[in-house]
């Protein structure tokens, strides 16, 4: 009997019924099926509501990075990741930053961009001015979509319009700037973008196409910085090696990609632990790294006039503490409780600090001993 993945109504089946179909298709053993039936802390009913066609839960380790002092406050950092040495390295590097007072952060408001694409506009530059003339009416229309967000002080705050040249001719792109407060904001922004699109088409005489959030959240930035005495990282030579490693990344996109991957080791681990969208954060981070026309590191490292090692990081971080999996997944709620965060901006600043510290850990290992020394010892424990 031939096997087929064409299964009408698969989405209507229960997880158990789906599992039986998959087991038949893939010749899963009884032991393998039993493993998939272990939903653990994420209840089957919750998992089945979160995504489609559920048959089980794929679990990853949840670890805690310690020693973090951020803006004068101690934090325990929940991290979900499969890679050995990341949590240990973050904890060790966080300890080093304490010699200089820890990590300090700041962030901008939680502003997200909703894009509305308008095509077939006969006079795009004239239409752009018409859109801007109708700014207040368009913002009011957008805010009618989410009175609760507006009541909390958020909502659509501004409007931008620009003409871009494409292979298919000019297009008018309208940006709706929305303060999403403590949410990541995709649902609110997308709803507003869809609501104002017909009005924009009417004003411009064009046709609307895409109406969606942009993951290049360059209005929602986090900055983290630390100043560390050289002896805390292993001496002047190690500190200089860290700066030289950064200079390599600054000059070479091949190295910059790996440099930023080390930052995202820490960033993604906390984003996942708190139930946020790590693909959106990754997309925004790498797009931001290219904003000057060439792929660059998200951090900088230098020595100040006293020989202290100074690290800074700036990146977009669109994360929330309400809505989505941050509330659906009970482990995400526990992670947020461990962090003790009171706002999305506080969470974003913590994540930025973790990214900077993770970067320090990787650069120090490369400059002082080579990345494999600590990594492979922990990897050996992992496979023993």
Question: Which listed residue (32, 44, 83, 240) is catalytic?
Answer: 83
For residue 102, give both structure tokens. Answer: 């820890």
From the candidates 259, 286, 296, 375, give the one annotated as an active-site residue: 375
Nearest to 103 by CA among 372, 382, 355, 384: 355
What DSSP assignment string belongs to 106-162? EE---EEEEEEEEE--SSHHHHHHHHHHTHHHHHHHHHTT-HHHHHTT-EEEEEEEE
Active site (annotated) includes residue 83: yes
Q: Report which DSSP code applies to 200.
A: H
Which residue is it, tokens 């993951």? 215
379 flagged as catalytic:
no
The structure tokens 């901008």 sit at: 108
Concerning whether 250 is annotated as a catalytic residue, the answer is no
Annotated catalytic residue within 32, 261, 282, 379: 261
From residue 243, how far is each of 234, 248, 367 by CA, in Å?
14, 9, 9
31 CB burial (10 A radius; 0-12, 13-18, 19+): exposed
Catalytic member of 146, 182, 268, 277 = 277
Q: What is d(CA 177, CA 115) in angstroms, rounded to the nearest whole number?
A: 9
Residues noted as catalytic = 83, 261, 277, 375
């Amino acid at each position: 009997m031939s096997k087929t993945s064409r299964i009408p109504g698969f989405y209507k089946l229960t997880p158990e019924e789906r599992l039986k179909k998959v087991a038949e298709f893939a010749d899963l053993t009884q032991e393998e099926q039993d493993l998939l039936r272990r939903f653990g802390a994420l209840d089957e009913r919750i998992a089945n509501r979160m995504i489609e066609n559920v048959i089980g839960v794929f679990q990853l380790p949840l670890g805690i990075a310690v020693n973090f002092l951020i803006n004068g406050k101690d934090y325990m950092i929940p991290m979900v990741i499969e890679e050995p040495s990341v949590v240990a390295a973050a904890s060790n590097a966080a300890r080093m930053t304490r010699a200089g007072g820890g990590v300090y952060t700041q962030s901008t408001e939680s502003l997200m961009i909703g894009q509305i694409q308008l095509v077939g506009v006969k006079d795009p530059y004239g239409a752009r001015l018409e859109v801007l003339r109708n700014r207040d009416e368009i913002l009011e229309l957008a805010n009618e979509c989410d009175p609760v967000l507006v009541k909390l002080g958020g909502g659509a705050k501004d409007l931008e319009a620009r003409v871009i040249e494409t292979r298919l001719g000019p297009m008018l792109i309208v940006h709706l700037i929305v303060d999403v407060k403590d949410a990541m904001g995709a649902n609110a922004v997308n709803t507003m973008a869809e609501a104002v699109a017909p009005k924009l088409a009417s004003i411009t005489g064009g046709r609307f196409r895409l109406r969606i959030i942009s993951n290049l959240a360059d209005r929602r930035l986090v900055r983290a910085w630390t100043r560390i005495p050289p002896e805390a990282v292993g001496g002047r030579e190690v500190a200089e090696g860290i700066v030289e490693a950064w200079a390599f990344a600054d000059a070479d996109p091949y190295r910059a990609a790996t440099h930023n991957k080390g930052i995202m080791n820490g960033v993604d681990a906390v984003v996942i632990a708190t139930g946020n969208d790590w693909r959106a954060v990754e997309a925004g981070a790498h797009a931001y790294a290219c904003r000057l026309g060439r792929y660059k590191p998200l951090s900088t490292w230098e020595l100040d006039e006293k020989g202290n090692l100074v690290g800074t990081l700036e990146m977009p971080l669109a994360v929330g503490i309400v809505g989505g999996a941050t509330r659906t997944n009970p482990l995400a709620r526990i992670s947020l409780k461990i962090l003790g965060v009171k706002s999305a901006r506080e969470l974003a600043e913590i994540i930025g600090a973790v990214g900077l510290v993770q970067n320090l850990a990787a650069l120090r290992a490369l400059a002082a001993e080579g990345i494999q020394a600590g990594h492979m010892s922990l990897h050996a424990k992992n496979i023993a």
